[in-house]
Structure 1
Amino acid sequence: MSLELLSQLETKIQTALETIELLKLELDEEKEKAANLAEQNHQLKQELSSWNDKITGLVGLLSNQVD
């Protein structure tokens, strides 16, 4: 009887270890995705700032033309 319980325990431990490994891999993938999104966000913010500067400049030129 105790050998059967030990076998069941071993199976459960093995399953738990496999689950932990899969979760670690999934976590690594999610961290990589997050890093990529952070980089993309940074680039988009730079583009937005550039466009804002260009528009501000154009509005300034138009204001000077009207005056």
Structure 2
Amino acid sequence: MSFEVFEKLEAKVQQAIDTITLLQMEIEELKEKNNSLVREVESSASGRESLVNENVQLKQEQQAWQERLRLLLGKMDEV
């Protein structure tokens, strides 16, 4: 009778070990996926920053052109 109890206990311990091993593998996969997503977010943030800088530069250029156009229109009005 006690041999059967030990066999059942051994089976449960083995099942627990298998479950723990699978969970550890899942954790590793999730860590890798998380790291990949973190890199993707960082890349997106960098790209966004670049676009914001380009937008600022283009707005400054637009303002400069508008000012030149105003000056030219002002000169045309004087003539």
Q: TM-score range by the shorter chain?
A: over 0.9
Give unmatched runs, 5+ long, in structure 1: none
TM-score, normalized by length of structure 1? Answer: 0.94
Question: How far apart are residue 63 of structure 1 and its match?
Answer: 1.1
Backbone CA RMSD of aligned residues: 0.7
Equivalent residue number for residue 63 of structure 1: 63
Query: Residue type matched to 2:39 in 1?
Result: E
Equivalent residue number for residue 42 of structure 2: 42
How many pairs are equivalent? 67
Measure the CA separation in 1 of the matches of 2:52 and 2:5.
69
Larger Rg over CA atoms: 2
Give unmatched runs, 5+ long, in structure 2: 68-79
Identity of aligned residues (%): 30
Structure 1 outlier segments of 4+, above 2 Å:
none
Equivalent residue number for residue 16 of structure 1: 16
Query: Residue type matched to 2:11 in 1?
Result: T
TM-score, normalized by length of structure 2? Answer: 0.81
Equivalent residue number for residue 6 of structure 1: 6
Measure the CA separation in 2 of the matches of 1:65 and 1:14.
76
Equivalent residue number for residue 29 of structure 1: 29
